[in-house]
Every structure is written in C-alpha cells, then in structure tokens.
Amino acid sequence: MRRLTVPLADRSYDVVVGRGVVAELATLLPSTAKRAAVVTQDGIPAEIELPGVEITTFIIGQGESAKTLDTIATLMSGFAAMGLTRHDVVISVGGGMVTDIAGFAAASWHRGIPVVHVSTSLLGMVDAAIGGKTGVNLPEGKNLVGAYWQPSGVLCDLDFLDTLPPREMRCGLGEMAKYHFLTGDDLMALDLEQRVARCIEIKAEVVASDEREGGRRALLNYGHTFAHALEIATGHQLAHGEAVAIGLIYAAELGFEMGRIDATRVQQHRDVVAGEYDLMTQPPPGLDADELLALMHRDKKALTGLTFILDGVHGVEVITGVDEAPVRAAMSRLLR
C-alpha cells in the first residue's frame, strides 16, 4: 500500500494506492460526517460499510448521455431528502464519469461539502479522481459546466482492476501514454502499483503548482483538444482514453505540420501509443473535418482562437492562436 499526498497547503489530501485499500475509507472521511451520500452506478462491485454513518446510495446512469445537469438536479433533490449537511460527505464509487458528477454535486450542494473518491477504473485512478476537476456535459461540448473542488481523499484499490473490461483498461492506458510524453518516464517498465502511483505523483505535482489551470496544468490536456472533438463527433462511441490515444497522434502530426517536431518524433508517438500501449491511432471512418474543427473552436481551452498542447524542442507547451491551415492538414492525414 502506498499513501501519497496532493500538496495543497491546508487543503492537501491523501491518495491511497494498493490492493484492499477500500478498507481505509473511514480514515479519509471528515470526523463530523453522520451521513454519506454514495454516488455510484449499476454493476460496480463495491459494498460500502461505515459504522456510525448513515449511508444513502444514489445510482446514476451509464455513459456520457447521463453526464448532465439533469443528473446533478436529481442528486440535489436526493441530498435534500436525506438531510445532507455541510458536516456530512459525498462518496463517489466508480470511474471518471462518477467522480466528475459526484464531485460537481458535492461542490454545488450547500456551496460545497466534502467528497471522497473511491476510484474503480484505471482512468479514474491515474487522472479523473485526482486534482479536483469536476463537471458535466452540454450538447455543445464536453465538461463545459463544472467546478474545481478538491476531494478530502482518494482510494485507488487495484482489486477493482481485476474485473475491469478491456475497453475500460484501454481508457486508462490512453491517459498513461499522455504521461509518457509529459515526462519521458517508461511507465510500462513498472509494476501496476508503481505505475498508478507514478501517474498520481506526476499529476499531483502539476496540480500543486497550478490548481486552477492558469498555466502549467493545461499541459495535462496533451492530446485532449482533438480527443474531445472526436468524442462528441462520434456520439461518444469512442471512449475517452481511446480518443486521447488518437489525440496524441493528432497532436504530434500538428506539431510536425507547424515545424515544432520532426518525423522521427511523430513516429515515436506512434511507437508508444500503438506499440507499447496497444491503442488505436486512427479515428473511425466517416468523420467530417469541418465538424471537428468547429468542435475544437468550442473547446474550453480556446481562449484566443484555436488552442492546442503541442510537443516541441522545449517539451510540451500550450500554443494559442493556431491557424486553421495546419490544423486541417494534420486532420487530413488521420481522417479516411
């Protein structure tokens, strides 16, 4: 078992990684909690027992179509009915979608109550459950409504990964591949516990330096601008990590088109994403370049025109005001 810390001064919190660590849940709860609202989904194998704490469980829908303000409104009504107070706690049990929704609900209820995440997916463990980003989708875009709300603690019990479907594992591997390009770490050379812990350490260090994405934290979105457009354009038939894997390749192609990296570096991206992580590098057929471009213009990072996180001689950087010509040229090499 490893106990890591996300260092945020008086709001620092622990992340516990290992097998069987769900037994540590009580150590992460606020001492004042008399009631816990557990937010989860059908089929997630987790039984939460907290002696002395009254538990009410809320089952939310599956898939991105349930990641909406309607779901938040339903949870709010449920919190009111159970009498949830600021002294109590919300507990998410699930993957990244569950932590996003439960975190936003906790941030909104009574203008903010504690939340603890029990992450059950690889994607949640290495990314979504760490750092305090919460939110839901609108028809116009992904995660456009949300809040920064740091958890009181996070549990990453690796036992949950033993029964995780292959596609859900690929989602986590897509985010792991991203960390490879941010740091150069050979994560696949580590065992699973070390790998998950290292990803958490990387993200925790970045979050501590830029909690609300005023600068450096945006680098964690490497590959995500194109990925989010792909998710929406495919009606979320592509899962997040699958889209991120393709987005990493697109970012490399765009970096090459703009003269930031050479063809050898582009091939390195393909070797890592396809070779080491066994992930797809090509979008599904039939996508429209104009639609993808419009979606990227609506990306929440696009403050001054098209904005991308791109590799270069100085490493991965935020590039704003990118012209459409190289964006289209890079897309033409991926779309079929």
Residue that is written with structure tokens 């929406």 in the block: 232
Contact call for residues 158 and 196 (beta carbons, < 8 A): yes
Residue that is written with structure tokens 């941010």 in the block: 182
Distances (CA, A) of 42 to 46, 72, 95, 100, 101: 10, 17, 12, 17, 15
291 is catalytic: no
276 burial via Cβ count (<10 Å: 0-12, 13-18, 19+): middle
Contact call for residues 230 and 247 (beta carbons, < 8 A): yes
What CA–CA distance (Å, rounded) separates 20 from 190?
20
217 is catalytic: yes
**Residues 6+ away with beta carbon under 8 Å from 91:** 25, 36, 37, 38, 39, 48, 102, 115, 116, 117, 118
301 is catalytic: no
228 is catalytic: yes
Active-site residue (options: 142, 224, 260, 269): 224
Active-site residue (options: 168, 175, 231, 253): 175
Q: Which two tokens stand for residue 114?
A: 């504690």
24 is catalytic: no
224 is catalytic: yes
Active-site residue (options: 201, 213, 253, 257): 213
Active-site residue (options: 67, 117, 133, 260): 133
Active-site residue (options: 170, 198, 203, 269): 203
What CA–CA distance (Å, rounded) separates 19 from 42?
22
Active-site residue (options: 221, 231, 242, 269): 221
What CA–CA distance (Å, rounded) separates 71 from 93?
16
Helix (H, G, I), strand (E, B) or coil at 55: strand
Active-site residue (options: 47, 111, 140, 314): 111
175 is catalytic: yes
Active-site residue (options: 117, 178, 180, 240): 240
Active-site residue (options: 142, 170, 217, 260): 217
Active site residues: 111, 133, 175, 203, 213, 217, 221, 224, 228, 240
